[in-house]
Amino acid sequence: MDTNEITETTTFKVNGESLTLSLPPTFRLVDILREILSFTGTKIACEAGRCGACSVIMNGKLVNSCLVMAYQLENAEILTIESLAEKNLHPIQEAFLQAGALQCGYCTPGMVMALKSLLDENEHPSRAEVQTALSGNLCRCTGYEGILRAVALLTNKRDEYMYTIAEINQMNRQEFIEKIGWVFEHSPWIANKTWNYRPFPSLNTLYQLMVQAVMEAPIGDQLDLIRAHPDLGGKLKMTSSSSKEQKGAGLNQLSEQEYMQFAALNKTYSEKFGFPFILAVKGHTKDSVYQSMKERVNHTKEEEFQTALTEIFSISKFRLEEIVKLETEGQGA
Please give the positions annotated as active site: 229
Provide the b/e sequence for 187-205 (b: ≥16 CB within 10 Å).
bbbbbebbbeeeebebbbe
* Contacting residues for 64 by C-beta, under 8 A, at least 6 apart: 49, 52, 54, 55, 136
Query: What 3-state class would DSSP assign to 156?
Result: coil
DSSP state of 197: G
* Contacting residues for 196 by C-beta, under 8 A, at least 6 apart: none
DSSP state of 116: H
State how far the Cα of 271 lies from the Cα of 257, in Å rounded to an integer.
Answer: 21
* Contacting residues for 160 by C-beta, under 8 A, at least 6 apart: 126, 127, 152
Instruction: Output the CA–CA distances (angstroms, integers) from residue 43 to 51, 64, 95, 100, in the order listed.
Output: 10, 10, 21, 21
Query: What 3-state class would DSSP assign to 195?
Result: helix
Q: How far is CA 208 from the centre of its chain?
A: 26
